[in-house]
């Protein structure tokens, strides 16, 4: 496949994308009113879902299967990131330079607050915006901040904790999902237990996701294996 | 013009800019940025169209939440692979046509 | 009326930040514009009545993605390859 001359190719691609955009805008403006409004049925079934926030109910109950698969995808992505270095172990990257004193003081102040915020977001997800993903994001940011300031506790640096923690969330979710399998379908939480089960799943998810998300940054390989010739 | 419709149109513009950037840029880091812009555009279209009549739609918001998290995982994996390519060839670009590594 | 004006301004800023992120010659600046783009996206989600998405986009889309990209730019510079 030969590339055209630079300018012609740029113009061709730009015109192509612009016409794609134009066609899409035309299609969107011609859309009729939505035929199906999912907010209604979600609202109608909320009292059977175990939580009172609609997005959390959809994410962990009505469409829980998607979230289960999402955790598996994240796990695979982290394994891919660590494997790109070619080594057999998931290693922590090196801290490039001595951390600045101001960064250290700021981190000592912020890190406990971030953990607290993550815990609150996790709990609040059942009745307000929040939930496992937001809590995990804040917790992951706290872990990365601690690492960059050189203050990451030894326990959080070990590989074993990472491996156990990463998989634990997925396993907890899978266990809770498979547990009703005897009575009905996969992921069909018994209604009186639904709220507690969702909180259990979300706690596991938060820890796992925080380790995975921070791991995506912290385990990015710095050194690479030399290729065998 | 509801916010939903307006942001859906913005999402279309973002998506097509992202596609153009993905094709035209040669540096892998820029391709990754373009890919993320495309993703954000697609998410805006998804939520904007669902909410074009004004009321919030929890199902599409949940889908996009999943999408945001998966796209950061894809970005991290792409960056790891780009670093590996940098290590192997010395440049963060695809090898020129006709070269065998 | 005011809401529509704000939305139009936000949409225009989104498009401008994305355009700058895609076309700036300096990689470092491109990543900075990408983080700005992520934060503006968080505002857009807030306007669309999606507070969960705003939280997630600000933390993950702007924060974590920005950190990853900055780290890669630094890695490139350390190897002396920061030409676009």
pLDDT one-digit tens code per residue, B13-42: 999 999 999 999 989 999 999 999 999 999
Find the closest chain A residue to C70 by CA distance.
A217
Chain C residues near residue B83 by CB distance under 8 angstroms: 72, 75
| Span A31-58, average pLDDT | 83
Q: What pLDDT sits at residue B97?
A: 67
Q: What pLDDT sits at residue A224?
A: 65
Report chain C's terminal Cα–Cα distance, integer Å: 43
The residue to which tokens 């890669």 are assigned: C72
User: Exposed, middle or buried, C19 (CB in 10 Å: 0-12/13-18/19+)?
Assistant: middle
A131 has a chain C CB within 8 A of its CB: yes
Q: Is A208:A166 a contact under the CB 8 Å cutoff?
A: yes
SS (H, E, C) C16-59: HHHHHHHHCCCHHHHHHHHHHHHHHHHHHHHHCCCHHHHHHHHH
Q: In a mutagenesis test of the A interface, which of B8, B70, B73 is the best target, namely the one with the most A β-carbons within 10 Å? A: B73
What's the pTM value of the predicted model, to 2 decimals? 0.91
Residue A131 has pLDDT above 70, yes or no: yes
Q: Which residues of chain B from 46 to 85 reach within 8 Å of chain C, CB to CB?
A: 47-48, 51, 56, 61, 64-65, 68-69, 71-72, 75-76, 79, 82-83
Residue A162 has pLDDT above 90, yes or no: no
Chain C residues near residue A85 by CB distance under 8 angstroms: none
How far is A130 from A53, CA to CA, in rounded Å?
9
Residue A160 has pLDDT above 90, yes or no: no
Domain residues of chain C, as ranges? 2-78
Q: What pLDDT sits at residue B69?
A: 94
CB atoms within 10 A of CB B70: 16
Residue A229 has pLDDT above 50, yes or no: no
Identify the helix (H) or strand (E) that includes residue A187.
Answer: none
Contact: C30, B33; criterion CB under 8 Å? yes
Shortest alpha-carbon distance between residue B4 and chain C (Å): 6
Shortest alpha-carbon distance between residue C71 and chain A (Å): 9
| Span B91-99, average pLDDT | 71
Shortest alpha-carbon distance between residue B97 and chain C (Å): 20
CA dihedral A199, A65, B68, C2 (to 10 degrees): -80
Q: What pLDDT sits at residue A225?
A: 59
Residue A1 has pLDDT above 80, yes or no: no
Q: What pLDDT sits at residue A228?
A: 43
Closest CA relative to residue A209, chosen from A157, A138, A146: A138
Q: What pLDDT sits at residue A142?
A: 92
| Span A54-75, average pLDDT | 89
| Span A47-58, average pLDDT | 86
Q: What pLDDT sits at residue C1?
A: 86
Q: What pLDDT sits at residue A45?
A: 82
Lowest mean pLDDT among A41-55, A64-78, C24-38, C40-54: A41-55
Q: What pLDDT sits at residue A181?
A: 72
Q: Which residues of chain C from 38 to 67 reach within 8 Å of chain B, CB to CB?
A: 38, 41, 44-45, 47-50, 52-53, 56-57, 60-61, 64-65
Which tens digits make up the pLDDT trace of A165-189? Answer: 888 888 888 888 887 776 667 777 7
CA dihedral C65, C71, C75, C81 (to 10 degrees): 60
Q: A10-48: buried (b, 16+ CB within 10 Å) or exposed (e) per residue?
A: eeebeeebeeebeebeeebeeeeeeeeebbeebeeebee
Chain B residues near residue C73 by CB distance under 8 angstroms: 29
Shortest alpha-carbon distance between residue A214 and chain C (Å): 8
Instruction: Tell me how far the alpha carbon of residue B6 is from its chain's centroid.
Output: 20
Q: Write down the mean pLDDT value for chain A.
A: 84
Per-residue pLDDT of chain C (84 residues), as tens digits, is: 898 999 999 999 999 999 999 999 999 999 999 999 999 999 999 999 999 999 999 999 998 999 999 989 988 887 775 554
Architecture of domain B3-89: Orthogonal Bundle (1.10)
Which tens digits make up the pLDDT trace of A205-216? Answer: 999 999 999 989
- pLDDT band for B89, please (50, 70, 90 cuts): confident
């Amino acid at each position: 496949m030969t590339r055209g001359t630079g300018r012609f190719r740029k113009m061709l691609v730009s015109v192509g994308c612009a016409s794609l955009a134009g066609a899409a805008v035309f299609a969107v403006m011609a859309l009729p009113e939505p035929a199906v409004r999912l907010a209604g049925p979600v609202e109608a079934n909320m009292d059977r879902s175990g939580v009172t926030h609609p997005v959390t109910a959809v994410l962990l109950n009505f469409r829980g299967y998607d979230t289960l698969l999402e955790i598996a995808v994240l796990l695979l992505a982290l394994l891919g990131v660590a494997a790109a270095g070619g080594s057999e172990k998931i290693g922590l990257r090196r801290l490039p330079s001595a951390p600045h004193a101001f960064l250290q003081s700021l981190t000592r102040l912020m890190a406990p607050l971030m953990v607290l915020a993550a815990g609150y977001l996790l709990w609040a997800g059942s009745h307000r915006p929040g939930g496992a993903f937001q809590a995990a994001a804040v917790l992951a940011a706290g872990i990365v901040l601690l690492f960059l300031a050189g203050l990451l506790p030894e326990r959080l640096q070990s590989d074993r904790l990472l491996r156990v923690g990463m998989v634990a969330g997925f396993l907890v979710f899978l266990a809770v999902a498979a547990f009703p399998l005897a009575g009905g379908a996969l992921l069909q939480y018994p209604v009186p237990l639904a709220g507690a089960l969702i909180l259990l799943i979300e706690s596991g998810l938060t820890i796992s996701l925080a380790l995975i998300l921070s791991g995506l940054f912290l385990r990015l390989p710095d050194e690479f294996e030399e290729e065998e010739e | 013009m509801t916010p939903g419709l307006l942001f859906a149109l913005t999402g279309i513009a973002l998506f097509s800019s992202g596609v153009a950037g993905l094709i035209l840029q040669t540096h892998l880091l820029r391709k990754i940025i373009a890919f993320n812009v495309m993703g954000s555009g697609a998410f805006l279209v998804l939520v904007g169209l669902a909410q074009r009549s004004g009321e919030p739609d929890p199902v599409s918001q949940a889908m996009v939440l999943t999408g945001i998290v998966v796209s950061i995982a894809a970005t991290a994996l792409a960056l790891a692979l780009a670093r590996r390519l940098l290590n192997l060839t010395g440049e963060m670009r695809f090898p020129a046509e006709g070269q065998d590594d | 009326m005011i809401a529509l004006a704000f939305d139009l301004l936000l949409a225009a800023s989104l498009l401008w930040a994305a355009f700058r992120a895609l076309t700036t010659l300096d990689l470092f600046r491109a990543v900075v514009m990408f983080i700005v783009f992520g934060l503006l996206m968080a505002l857009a989600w807030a306007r669309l009545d999606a507070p969960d998405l705003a939280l997630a986009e600000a933390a993950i889309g702007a924060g974590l993605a920005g950190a990853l990209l900055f780290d890669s730019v630094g890695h490139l510079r350390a190897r002396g390859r920061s030409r676009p």
